[in-house]
Structure 1
Amino acid sequence: MSSWQFFRLNIIFPLIMVLLFLLDGNLTASLGNFLMRGSLHAVPMLTLIWFFYAIQFGVMDKMPFYAYVVTIGVLYDIFYTGILGTYTVAFLAGTFVMERLQPYFDSRMMSGLLLFLIGMLVYLAATYFAGKIIGVAHVSHLAFFIFLLLPTSVFNLILAALFYYPSWSLLQRLG
């Protein structure tokens, strides 16, 4: 890889990552009436989707990927929860599982979405159990599964599918 490609990937990837971080919070705030209607909660996870694309399309080895993961996790902790460590561990766990399982999946979209689903479940389970441990999650396992995990999974799988090929094209040009 030439130096200009390395530079381009290391500038554009984190820039998009930060924009998606801000968009995650903005979507949650502005579409809260739609995404969190009644007891059902669909939480956008655009940043996790972006990390999934980096793993799926093979560009994570060309940049300091886990430094970006930790940075975004700390930003999530600071901006959205105020409890340092919850999202940092969740992002690390979700991306680590996706990275380790990725060789067992092929490059087709449906296989990739299954890989993303597994990573997303690990991410959500990590945040749920961290919330249980520190005493901020007061919901049963069944309610968590029905009212948060299912709607969030469906919503984010649709988003990941919609942007799968455009992201593949962009990351192939960058990498």
Structure 2
Amino acid sequence: MKLKMSYVFPLGLFLALFLDGSLSYVASATLFNTQVEIESRFILLWLVLAICFVPNLAHPYFWATFAGLVFDSYYTSILGIMTVILPLVVYLTKETMAFFKTSFWVVCLMYFIDVTVVSLGFYLFNNLIGFTAGSQADYILKVLWPTLTYNMVCFLFLYWPLKELFTRVK
């Protein structure tokens, strides 16, 4: 039986969304303490790798908006943050990848930039509405760098299996 991307992509997006919350909950003592606050971004990993390896992906902006809306309604209770940031990152990734040949290092750098954009956008929006009281230096040291490190390690482990999945499923 041949799998179709129209079935695999939404299922994987849901799984990534579920993993973002589940791993944060299960490992909350490690990921969220007085020293660090690590944000899992599996949903972003799924979107970035899909854009890089499935150039004719159907409706990526719809899926990014939908995933952002579900993320906002389920995890943050503030509609709009991820609903806006995810489609923006999908757009930036699609436009940027048009200039580069897809390789491990290019995708790695693209994911690094995207995690940075999403995390900073999340911080700026929360700072704007008064949900954050920490300084920018604290944010960079306690949230951004640990988040980037965690997500890049996850990228290293998941890049090849997801690349195989996206290249085999059409």
| Structure 1 length-normalised TM | 0.91
Letter in 2 for 1:69: A
Structure (1 or 2) with the greater helix fraction: 1
Superposition RMSD on alpha carbons, in Å? 1.6
Q: Secondary structure at the match of 1:20?
A: helix
Contact 1:106–1:112, Cα closer than 8 Å, also in 2? no
CA distance in 2, matches of 1:115, 1:105: 10
CA distance in 2, matches of 1:127, 1:118: 14
Letter in 2 for 1:137: T
- Select between 89-98 and 48-57 the one with higher mean Cα deviation: 89-98
Matches within 5 A, 1:1-175: 8-57=4-53, 59-175=54-170
- Measure how far apart 1:37 and its partner are: 3.4
CA distance in 1, matches of 2:166, 2:24: 26
Identity over aligned pairs, percent? 24
Name segments (4+ residues, structure 1) moved above 3 Å.
none
CA distance in 2, matches of 1:20, 1:14: 10
Letter in 1 for 2:158: F
Contact 1:105–1:115, Cα closer than 8 Å, also in 2? no
Letter in 1 for 2:122: T
Q: Secondary structure at the match of 1:88?
A: helix
Contact 2:51–2:57, Cα closer than 8 Å, also in 1? no
CA distance in 2, matches of 1:158, 1:56: 19
Q: Secondary structure at the match of 1:62?
A: coil
CA deviation vs aligned residue, 1:95-132 (integer Å, no higher than 9, x gap): 22222211333322122111111111111111111101
Gaps of 5+ in 2: none
Letter in 1 for 2:141: I
- Measure how far apart 1:70 and its partner are: 0.4
Letter in 2 for 1:93: L
Gaps of 5+ in 1: none
